[in-house]
Amino acid sequence: DVKVTQSSRYLVKRTGEKVFLECVQDMDHENMFWYRQDPGLGLRLIYFSYDVKMKEKGDIPEGYSVSREKKERFSLILESASTNQTSMYLCASSLRGWGTGELFFGEGSRLTVL
Amino acid sequence: KNEVEQSPQNLTAQEGEFITINCSYSVGISALHWLQQHPGGGIVSLFMLSSGKKKHGRLIATINIQEKHSSLHITASHPRDSAVYICAVSGNQFYFGTGTSLTVIP
- Closest-CA distance, B86 to chain A, in angstroms, reads 9
Evaluate whether B91 touches B102 at the Cβ level (below 8 Å).
Answer: no
Residue in A4, A74, B76 with CA at minimum distance from that of residue A66? A74
Cα separations in angstroms, B76 against A45, A60, B12, B59, B88: 35, 40, 14, 9, 24
Contact A40 B98 (CB under 8 A): yes
Inform me whether the pLDDT recorded for A12 exceeds 70: yes
Looking at chain B, the number of H-run helices and the number of E-run strands are 0, 11
Query: Band of the pLDDT at A39, cuts 50, 70, 90?
Result: confident
Residues A19-33: what's their mean pLDDT?
93
CA distance B65 to B69: 7
At A66-95, the pLDDT tens digits run 999 999 999 999 999 999 999 999 999 988
Inform me whether the pLDDT recorded for B9 exceeds 80: yes
Nearest to A42 among B92, B93, B98 (CB): B98
Which is more confidently placed, A71 or A100?
A71
Residues A10-22: what's their mean pLDDT?
97
Inform me whether the pLDDT recorded for A8 exceeds 70: yes
Query: Band of the pLDDT at A102, cuts 50, 70, 90?
Result: confident
What are the beta bridge partners of residue B70?
B23, B63
Inform me whether the pLDDT recorded for A33 exceeds 80: yes
What is the Cα A19 distance to its own chain's centre?
12
Q: What is the mean pLDDT of chain B?
A: 94
**Angular region, B95: left φ>0, alpha ψ -120 to 50, beta rest:** beta
Residues B17-25: what's their mean pLDDT?
98
pLDDT at A100: 62
Q: Does B101 touch chain A (CB under 8 A)?
A: no
What is the Cα B51 distance to its own chain's centre?
15
Query: Band of the pLDDT at B39, cuts 50, 70, 90?
Result: confident
Evaluate whether B73 touches B59 at the Cβ level (below 8 Å).
Answer: yes
Query: Band of the pLDDT at B1, cuts 50, 70, 90?
Result: low
Provide the residue type at A22 as one letter.
E
Inform me whether the pLDDT recorded for A17 exceeds 80: yes
Evaluate whether B32 touches B63 at the Cβ level (below 8 Å).
Answer: yes
**Which residue of chain A has the CA closest to B92?**
A99
CA distance B34 to B53: 12
Inform me whether the pLDDT recorded for B38 exceeds 80: yes
